Amino acid sequence: MFCLHAGEVNRGHRYTGVYSQVKADKGYLTFFLGRDDGDLKWHKSKILAVLLVTLMLLAVGCSGGTPDNGQIQDADGKVQKPPAQSQSVSPVEPGEKKVPAGLLAATVTRVVDGDTLVVRLKDGKSETVRLIGVNTPESTREVEPYGKEASAYTRSRLDGRRIWLERDVQERDHYGRILAYAWLEPPAGDKPGEDAVRSRMFNAELLLKGYAQVMTVPPNVKYADLFVRLQREAREKKRGLWGLEVKDREPYYIGNARSKKFHRPDCEYGRQTAPDNRVRFATKEKALDAGYEPCNACKP
């Protein structure tokens, strides 16, 4: 704030207010004082622009200043409230959500099948995404039991929807697809608990509703143990594909203790399993209960 006896510049009036700005143009000074009734300005006195520095210093030390309570007196002695100071607020984009570092926001533009999506990233780039840790029955080149249902479910849930992609150790598979966990809502932190995974992650939703089986491919194993538990829950409650009446077609199955896969007895990969790693299961259910996954080649 400053005060100036305007008699030196204009009609002997005295103005008191909050200093806003001073403009110098061709030797003329324009002064702006903030008041309740608007800005006051005058532009008549031919004063050297160098006086601007002096006037700014007067903002601190002139008479009739601001009282200790922060109020301002105008020329008539009336008390005015000082203009509110603006707070510094970080800009927030409408609709933006606070997400943990590393998650990619994306919009699903096409559903290829139950576990494969095409998305548009924030920069406009289109990418194919393979969901980590789950495998839905085939529905494209060949149709497996419950494949069409799984594909239709993923389409109904994700097509056109915004999701958040969380990656594991490997960012892409050998086909160049992004490997990710798809969050319907971003988790609260970098290490979400089981409740958050159950309620917000689509990979987990596929397992819980019986549209997918666990498929663990190291080193992408962040949620592998939890996924096995979710699959067991769906199987025990006969949800989705686990409700299909499928009888064991083989007398036994060969498990590989190293890869945690199980095979039909005549599967090439099962026969190649080293004796020290070979585990025999009487039924498919027993293999699944032990945390083994079906071979992608022989599809037991």
Of the residues 127, 138, 166, 293, which is catalytic?
Answer: 138
Residue with token string 């305007």:
6
d(CA 247, CA 256): 22
Integer CA distances (angstroms), 132 to 33, 156, 164, 165, 221, in order: 64, 20, 14, 10, 9
Spatial neighbors of 92 by CB under 8 A, at least 6 apart, are: none
Of the residues 127, 130, 167, 264, which is catalytic?
Answer: 130
For residue 186, cis peptide bond before it (omega within 30 degrees of 0): no
Is 110 designated active site? no
Nearest to 75 by CA among 12, 9, 142: 12
Is 233 designated active site? no
Determine the longest span between alpha carbons in the chain, in angstroms. Answer: 112
Of the residues 157, 167, 177, 200, which is catalytic?
Answer: 177
Is 235 designated active site? no
Active-site positions read 130, 138, 177
